[in-house]
């Protein structure tokens, strides 16, 4: 079986999603198709989730890459991570601000001896490895400045991510985020934290979205995979972790895929734009709808 699942962040059924339903739907369809096409051509799961996330990073209505939320100082601080299940190779960046697609920076780190690089050094590393650099105004758009000015303390989180199982039986997971609108500069959530926002091993691949601090304190992604390794169904494992996040006072969502190609995409918020494709079936996409 070959499978890919994507998400564009758990959060409220916001005016943004309702007013721009078609654009969001189209972005999800394109991200899923990009990943699917690679998988059908025999590419591996790491490349498929990376490309799917890249497409979502380039779409300005999702909170990652181009559409990243701004910090209180009006700057962006982007984070992303990527993990391959077969050997648990991992790469992550936090606090980048010039790399157009942070997931490509994470991919470059995955191929290096390091696992996590932060700040300007991470941008410079990405640049040296061919990841396109952009000026701040690529991210700091009029739309985002309006969002920042309008932001209350209770804002949607949002993040994008993908999980896949390829034809060689390898699982992979990828996550990318702009953080929270109006977050303090220097704040990092769960997205670049291997074990919290992203995890892949031989049993499961997981990408998370939600209240980042609580996802770290619950080690959501690693715990789901460990439960799957021990024989818990993926549906039960993801439910137990979201219940644990809830016990800490938070909400969010996860997408998870296991070694048999089972997918689980639960969330405890109003909405989680998401999509799935399985070899031999039609792709499915949801923007504000329940499953």
C-alpha 258: how far from its chain's center?
Answer: 17
Q: Which is nearer to a copy of itself, 20 or 187 (CB)?
A: 187
CA angle 3, 69, 94 (to 5 degrees): 70
Distance CA 267, CA 238 (A): 9
**Options 22-30, 86-94, 134-142, 165-173: segment touching a copy of itself (CB under 8 A):** 86-94
Q: Which residue's CB is nearer to a copy of itself, number 9 or number 192? A: 192
Contact 129, 96 (CB under 8 A): no
Q: What tokens appear for 79 in the block?
A: 């984070």
- Least distance CB 151 / a copy of itself (angstroms): 15
CB atoms within 10 A of CB 22: 9
> What is the H or E stretch that residue 212 is in?
helix 212-218
222, 250, 251, 277: residue in contact with a copy of itself (rule CB under 8 A):
222
Cα separation of 165 and 162, whole Å?
11
**Cβ–Cβ contacts within 10 Å for residue 152, how many?**
7
Q: Quick check: is 159 catalytic?
A: yes
Binding mask 189-208 for a copy of itself (x = CB under 8 A): x---xxxx--x---------
Tell me the number of residues near a copy of itself by CB under 8 A: 40
What does DSSP say about strands 198-200 and 252-258: parallel, antiparallel, or unpaired?
Answer: unpaired
Q: What binding mask, one character per residue, do residues 224-263 give for a copy of itself by CB under 8 A, x or -?
A: --x---------------------x---------------
Kindly tell me which of 59 and 199 has the beta carbon lying closer to a copy of itself: 199
Residue 85 lies near a copy of itself (rule: CB under 8 A)? no
Q: For binding to a copy of itself (CB under 8 A), which residues are involved?
A: 83, 87-90, 94-95, 113-122, 124-125, 184-189, 193-196, 199, 212-213, 216-219, 222-223, 226, 248
């Amino acid at each position: 079986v070959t499978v890919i699942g994507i998400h564009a962040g758990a959060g409220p059924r916001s005016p943004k999603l309702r007013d721009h339903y078609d654009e969001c739907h189209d972005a999800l369809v394109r991200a899923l198709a990009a990943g699917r096409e690679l998988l059908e051509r025999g590419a591996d799961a790491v490349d498929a989730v990376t490309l799917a996330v890249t497409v979502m990073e380039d779409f300005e209505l999702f909170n990652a890459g181009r559409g990243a939320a701004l910090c209180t100082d009006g700057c962006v601080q982007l984070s992303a991570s990527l993990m391959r299940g077969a050997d648990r190779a991992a790469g992550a960046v936090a606090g980048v601000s010039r790399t157009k697609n942070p997931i490509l920076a994470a991919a470059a780190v995955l191929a290096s001896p390091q696992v996590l690089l932060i700040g300007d050094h991470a941008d410079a590393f990405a640049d040296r490895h061919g990841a396109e650099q952009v000026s701040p105004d690529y991210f700091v758009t009029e739309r985002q400045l309006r969002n920042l000015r309008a932001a209350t303390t209770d804002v949607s989180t949002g993040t994008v991510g993908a999980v896949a199982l390829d034809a060689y039986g390898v699982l992979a997971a990828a996550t990318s985020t702009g953080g929270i609108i109006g977050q303090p500069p220097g704040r990092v959530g769960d997205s670049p934290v291997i074990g919290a926002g992203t995890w892949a091993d031989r049993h499961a691949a997981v990408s998370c979205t939600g209240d980042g601090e609580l996802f770290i304190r619950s080690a959501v992604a690693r715990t789901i995979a460990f439960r799957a390794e021990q024989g818990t169904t993926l549906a039960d494992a993801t439910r137990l972790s979201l219940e644990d996040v809830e016990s800490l006072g938070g909400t969010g969502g996860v997408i998870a895929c296991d070694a048999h190609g089972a997918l689980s995409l639960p969330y405890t918020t109003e909405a989680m734009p998401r999509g799935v494709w399985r070899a031999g079936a039609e792709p499915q996409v949801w923007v504000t709808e329940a499953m």
